[in-house]
Amino acid sequence: MLLLLRRLWAEQQGAVSLYLLLILVPVFLFCALLIDFARIQVAEKEAENAVKTGVRSTLSSFSPKLQSYGLYALNQKPEESKALFLKAVEGNVSGTLASNSFQFIDQKVETEGSSLTSMYSLGNHTVFKKQILEEMKYRAPMIYSLEMADKFKKTGLSSAMGQASQFSKNAEKIEKLIEDRDDQLDNAWKNWSAIYQNAVAMHPFYQSQLAELNKLSDKIGLHTIGEVKQSLQDSKKQLADLKDDVKRINSDIRSLIQAGSQASSAIDSLYDLKDRIQDEIVDVNKKISDLEQLLNDLLEYAKLLAMLKLKSTSDLAELKDHLKDFEEALNKAKKSNDQLNTELQAIQSQNAASGSYEADKVFQAVHLISRSELDDYGSKAASVVALFSGLESQLSSVIFFDGQNYRNADQAIQPFWKQAQELQSTQSLKESQRNAKKSVATTSKQEQRKKAQAYLDQVKSALGSCSILATTDSSKQQYIALQGDPAKGSKGYYQAYMDSNNTSNLSQPVPSIDLDNADKAGASAMNLISSLTDLLTDVRDEFYVDEFAVSKFNYRTFGLEKDSSGTIKGSLEPSEPGKHQLVNQELEYLLYGANSCASNYSLAYAEMFAFRLAVNTAEALLEPKNEILNVGSPLLVFLAAVAEGAIHAQQDMSKLIQGEMVPLSQKLGSFFTMSYKDYLRVFFLLHSRDKVLLSRMQALIQLNTGLDLQQSTTYISGTASTSIRLWFLPGLMNQLGKAGLNACQVKLGRCQITKTGVMAY
């Protein structure tokens, strides 16, 4: 048994060695692979950190000029940025570190696979605004709270201005309805007066003509023209026959006379016959005369009746025309009057709910007219015409005008005249009262307009001027750079930034301020502050952008403002607004975008005056005079407040443009003051328009720094390739890299690793 075991052992010695070899070789290969794999992972992490460090180092070379505005961007040549990037990457890989000791990895940078890509510039509105918000998010809320909202809220001016704005809207609406109603009532009264004047002339005419017609009617009785003409013809024939008989008798007498005395008895008989015929001729002549008079009366009767029929028809048509115009005007007056009464009720209900406001008392003094009063006015005027229509109807239908017809006609003409007199008497008194009130209101409004106009003219004379004491605008070239030169068709910086952001040019910066007269100036002032209350309670991103502009750029009174001790205020802003190329006019340009100093100053001056006018008008409306309230014209109350406000607003402007502070409100808190700069801050809020403002700021920054923001990079992507030498099995590692098990690309025994880092300011 022992021998058997020894023989078996001797026979298996080579197999064991082979077995051990098969076991140990894979173990050694796995260890070598694991070591290189670990080295690759370490190199990969090191390359990633080096690339990120390179990107950060590149971004650290931001432009100092832009940084003074709180903006960060690269503004250097691409090759310079790439060189800085590669230098930073190379300085952070292990292969560049000289060492006499063992190195686990010997990583080095491969310049062939390295690149640096710049993306997103400050010329982009989104990027530019993001950096502005980052710069201002800590400063702007504090400034907003202390310098803006508190001043308006604590003084109650915000509420007062809101009430003034609402009053102006109500006053304009009510005044328009009053004027519409009164204009239509004037038109109705004009047409009624025409009806009455016709009645004045018509009444005596018809009264006398009807009496004459009645007289003629009594004379002619039931005779007709045909009958009378026939009787007249018969009488004339009878007269002719009688005359012929006389002639024949005369001939017979002459013959008998010639015959001698034997015919004396016959002659006497003929003379007797002739006398009887002569008497009959006299009767016939009288009859003919009576018939001719009767015929004349009949013709006069027919003529008079026909004339009265035609004239009554014509007069009725004229009265109806006047009545139609009267009713059209009165219906329009009713519509305006109904709207007026409804609006007054709504305003009074609103005022009762919101509390007393002194100026609103004028709405209670408005001259009111009830609907029933206007209805009665219209029905009585229509009744007058209807009464005359009855007369015309009687005359047109009559054939034989008898005594009853006369009485009916007289009963129509007399009520017509009486009704016209009564309406004229009652309505003329009402019209006199209404027109007296209207006249007082019109005269008073003209006086207030004239009072305000003197100060508005002073403001207008101050427009169009610039503080630059030169015959030509020394900023002309700067404005050409900003806005371009239309004469040459060149674009400026502003338009270039608008185009690059695919934004259309919005040429009108703010609502128009019209100072031509008190009405327009007051309306402009109220429109300006209509949305102020909401803006003061709503902090938006636009405010941060606006505050960035106010803090980084100069304005008209920059360098004139003083602190409480009388010392000129300096600017601690790194952007140094006092050294900018547009001297003391940058904020005005940002707000209005005109192409000259004078134009921008004028727009700012006009808007600031309108704002001060709104404040002072709101104050005046808190204490209106009773004699103005009692006139019953809301517009008069508003114009009186505008006139008083214009006086104080003009005085305030003289101080503001000299760098002085003026009280926000004399009556509601004079301890709160605001400067020219503060009002510009308000205007930025009122007219916030991101795209335009951002482009103008970009243009100004380029003008001041000489740097094109479209070439100022805020985001970069850096890619670098590094390599390490593989210790074991490079071919196997290459296959594993192709399979996606590592990031290695093997070339000439070295594993190349490519990493990308991105970063933005």
DSSP state string for 121-186: ETTSHHHHHHHHHHHHTTTHHHHIIIIIIHHHHHTTHHHHHHHHHHHHHHHHHHHHHHHHHHHHHH
- Select, from the ranges 520-529, 649-658, 714-723, the one with the highest average predicted confidence (pLDDT): 649-658
How confident is residue 159, by pLDDT bands cut at 50, 70 and 90? confident
Query: Is residue 599 within 8 Å of residue 592, measured between CB atoms?
Result: yes
**Who contacts 558 (Cβ-Cβ below 8 Å, separation ≥6)?**
571, 577, 578, 584, 677
Residues 129-155 as b or e (16 or more Cβ within 10 Å = b): bbbbeebbeeebeeebeebbeebbeeb
- For 575-592, what is the mean pLDDT? 92
pLDDT of 69:
92
Q: DSSP state, 569?
A: P
Asked whether residue 472 carries a pLDDT value surpassing 70, the answer given is no
Asked whether residue 129 carries a pLDDT value surpassing 50, the answer given is yes
Closest among 107, 106, 114 to 58, alpha carbons compared: 114
As given in the structure block, the two tokens for residue 510 are 């703010």
How confident is residue 468, by pLDDT bands cut at 50, 70 and 90? very low
Asked whether residue 143 carries a pLDDT value surpassing 60, the answer given is no
Cβ of 265: how many Cβ atoms within 10 Å? 10
pLDDT of 13:
58
Read out DSSP for 138-152? TTHHHHIIIIIIHHH
Q: How many Å apart are CA 236 and CA 220, to the nearest integer?
A: 20
Asked whether residue 441 carries a pLDDT value surpassing 50, the answer given is yes
- For 689-716, what is the mean pLDDT? 91
Query: Is residue 381 within 8 Å of residue 325, measured between CB atoms?
Result: no
As a whole number of Å, the CA-based R_g of the chain is 56
How confident is residue 469, by pLDDT bands cut at 50, 70 and 90? very low
Rounded percentage of the chain residues whose pLDDT exceeds 70: 77
Closest among 129, 79, 758, 158 to 503, alpha carbons compared: 129
pLDDT of 178:
94
- Bridge partners (DSSP) of residue 562 are 568
As given in the structure block, the two tokens for residue 156 are 């109650």
Within 265-373, strands assigned E span none
Query: Is residue 452 within 8 Å of residue 643, measured between CB atoms?
Result: yes
- pLDDT tens-place string over residues 301-313: 667 667 777 888 8
- pLDDT tens-place string over residues 545-563: 888 999 899 999 998 888 7
Q: How many Å apart are CA 229 and CA 220, to the nearest integer?
A: 13
- pLDDT tens-place string over residues 256-287: 777 665 667 777 777 777 778 777 777 777 87
State the chain's mean pLDDT as an integer.
81
pLDDT of 259:
67
Query: Is residue 168 within 8 Å of residue 523, measured between CB atoms?
Result: yes
- Select, from the ranges 321-325, 527-531, 568-572, 713-717, the one with the highest average predicted confidence (pLDDT): 321-325
How confident is residue 8, by pLDDT bands cut at 50, 70 and 90? low
- For 286-298, what is the mean pLDDT? 66
Asked whether residue 663 carries a pLDDT value surpassing 60, the answer given is yes
How confident is residue 134, by pLDDT bands cut at 50, 70 and 90? confident
More confident site: 165 or 465: 165
Q: How many Å apart are CA 722 and CA 666, to the nearest integer?
A: 74
Q: How many Å apart are CA 686 and CA 680, to the nearest integer?
A: 10
Query: Is residue 601 within 8 Å of residue 592, measured between CB atoms?
Result: no
pTM for the model: 0.76
Query: Is residue 359 within 8 Å of residue 167, measured between CB atoms?
Result: yes
CA distances 176 to 180, 218, 327, 336, 482, Å, are 6, 61, 21, 9, 46
More confident site: 282 or 456: 456
- Select, from the ranges 89-103, 406-420, 462-476, 712-726, the one with the highest average predicted confidence (pLDDT): 712-726
- Select, from the ranges 78-82, 295-299, 730-734, 741-745, the one with the highest average predicted confidence (pLDDT): 78-82
